[in-house]
Amino acid sequence: MNEPITAELVAEDLPTTEPVESDDAYHRYVCDVDRTGFWGTIDRWSDRAARWLNPILIKEARQSLKSRQFSGTFFLLLIASLFWMTVGVVTLAPDIYYVPSGVYMMTGYYFLLAIPMLAMVPLAAHRSLAAELDEGTFEMLAITKLSALRIVTGKLGSALLQMLVYFAVLVPCFAFCYLLRGVDLPMIATTIVVVFTVSVLLTTWGLLLSTVAETRATQMLTLLMLLATIFLAEIFTAIFVLSAVYSQELIWDLEALLFTALFGLVAVSCMVLFVKAAASRIAPVTENRSTPLRWIMFAQQLIWIGSIATLALWSNDDDVLMFGCLMLGGYWLLMGTLMLGESVDLSPRVLRTLPETTLGRMFLLWMIPGPGTGYMFALTTAATGILSLGMCSLLVARSIQPLVFALLMIGYLLMYLSAVRLIMLVLSRRFGHSMGLALAAMCSLLVLGIVVPSVFMAIVTGSPSSFYGVQETTNWMWTIFRVFDDQKLDEAVVAATLVVGGALAMINLFLLFREFSFRHVATPTRVSEDEAASAILDNG
């Protein structure tokens, strides 16, 4: 008799499975759908800030901070810093209480910071972008709205985040060295800035090298190049930092500050060039990948001319001007050779960016992508810059030798770059346009320019040249060595280089008829509508 009553009581005690509508079912911040409260304002600002973050940076930060490479390096760095602190304190005791010991401790902490900053971070960034290209995942990124520049800057941002984490570990250790006396705060700040600048420069260089590799052989070659660069950077950075730390000499006069500012400008310009060049390497072939790089090169030349002219006027030394001309000639020889490997085909998108007016074509023609325009851009820009440095000698030391040396550099640039241009016109018909092919041709010519005069003299006289003369005109190495070592400059050799280089340049000038035929193409209506709609979506 009691079974129905018992069942009814049990049923009343059981929890119901039906949903209960209540205002307390969700958190009050979740119920604030209009985001009208204080935290709603924070959410709105957070969403707006998140839209400006690079998606590649977010992805790379999550992957990098969870990777074994970062975790292993981070914990090894912690253990090593603790070990060095213990060993250093025990070794220096009891003198550590009375004698300044910060220099000794900072030496070890510098190497603990330099190894991950100058080696691990650039290698990780290089491998990260190379893996995207090698494993085929870059195609998934290419179909998104992310530009090539945002992809490269996302990789760079991830590397910068790792640098900040490494700094967070070891900067307190530098503060410990300051407490031990012997090291002042400007020395610590200089060490941190130098290591950070060199690390960013190596990282951008590694990103650029990762885009060059297209085969397994080139991947190994670029990796070896990066390792060699890291090795040299470790050596020279250690020499600079440790010599300053042990000598306790940081000169903060106007000359030192000026030199530091100019070095920083050159370093930053190289970083920008490397990042933009890496983005251009992975950008679609329909985009204009050359014009922004040429503007950066032009800006770098202005920075270099200003730096060298300022240092020469300050020190009143014409050797500084000759060094500036030499470096500028080598720079444009390399950049001009790379531009000779560009493709001759221009997409309709690139043609739409060409100048429309005659005046614009007169001044901006050499900014158009292509090997011919790149050749003329390198020659005209280099000749103007080198001649400007040579003219500064009339103001610095009232000497004409830097001006004659500038003419020699212009002659060698005309001769070798024009010869490679003619060779590439022939080879491109069989092998196509390639920067590697242009570099190989330039390296072969530079070696032949040294070897051929000696072989010729050996055939004619029975022995290699024992004296310098006009027959050594193509031997650029011997000529430059005599200028800087013996302060001797043969005017006949200068005239010969200008005559031969000018003749080769005139031949190339007659072969540039195709470059003068480029004209601006109007933007189709459909393309303008699509670009306007895309801009609205991006802003909305």
> What confidence tens digit (pLDDT) does each residue in 328-356 have?
999 999 999 988 888 777 766 677 777 66
pLDDT digits (tens, 9 = 90+) for 352-388: 777 666 666 666 777 788 888 889 899 999 999 999 9
Give residue 474's domain range.
316-535
Tell me whether residue 38 is in a domain.
Answer: no
Q: How far is CA 485 from CA 89, 379, 412, in A?
A: 50, 28, 19
Please answer whether residues 476 and 414 qualify as being in contact, where contact means their C-beta atoms are separated by less than 8 angstroms: no
Average pLDDT, the chain: 80
> Bigger pLDDT: 294 or 258?
294
Q: How confident is the model at residue 20 (pLDDT cuts 50, 70, 90)?
A: very low
> Bigger pLDDT: 353 or 26?
353
Tell me whether residue 159 is in a domain.
Answer: yes
* Owner of token pair 């032009």: 298
Per-residue confidence (pLDDT) for residue 31, from 0 to 100: 55
Examine the domain organization and report whether 63 and 185 are in the same domain: yes
* Owner of token pair 């006949």: 492
Which range among 60-64, 100-104, 368-372, 385-389 has the greatest average pLDDT? 385-389
pLDDT digits (tens, 9 = 90+) for 79-94: 988 898 888 888 888 8
Examine the domain organization and report whether 193 and 330 are in the same domain: no
Examine the domain organization and report whether 233 and 98 are in the same domain: yes
Per-residue confidence (pLDDT) for residue 444, from 0 to 100: 92
Examine the domain organization and report whether 210 and 324 are in the same domain: no
Please state the domain count of the chain: 2
Global pTM value:
0.80
Alpha-helical runs (H) found in 358-463: 358-364, 371-391, 393-396, 401-431, 435-461
Examine the domain organization and report whether 338 and 431 are in the same domain: yes
pLDDT at 521 over 80: no
Tell me whether residue 8 is in a domain.
Answer: no
Please answer whether residues 300 and 349 qualify as being in contact, where contact means their C-beta atoms are separated by less than 8 angstroms: no
Tell me whether residue 365 is in a domain.
Answer: yes
Tell me whether residue 282 is in a domain.
Answer: no
Domain end, chosen from 209, 230, 250, is at 250
Tell me whether residue 21 is in a domain.
Answer: no
Examine the domain organization and report whether 502 and 415 are in the same domain: yes
In 3D space, the residue among 466, 464, 440, 437 whose CA is nearest the CA of residue 452 turns out to be 464
Please answer whether residues 328 and 304 qualify as being in contact, where contact means their C-beta atoms are separated by less than 8 angstroms: yes
Examine the domain organization and report whether 220 and 330 are in the same domain: no
* Owner of token pair 């950075």: 237
> Bigger pLDDT: 447 or 534?
447
Q: How many CA atoms lie within 13 A of 386 on its CB side?
A: 29
Per-residue confidence (pLDDT) for residue 11, from 0 to 100: 44
Examine the domain organization and report whether 187 and 333 are in the same domain: no
pLDDT at 22 over 70: no
> Bigger pLDDT: 277 or 289?
277
Portion of the chain with pLDDT greater than 90, in percent: 21
Domain end, chosen from 250, 279, 294, is at 250
Per-residue confidence (pLDDT) for residue 4, from 0 to 100: 46
Domain end, chosen from 202, 219, 250, is at 250
pLDDT at 269 over 80: yes
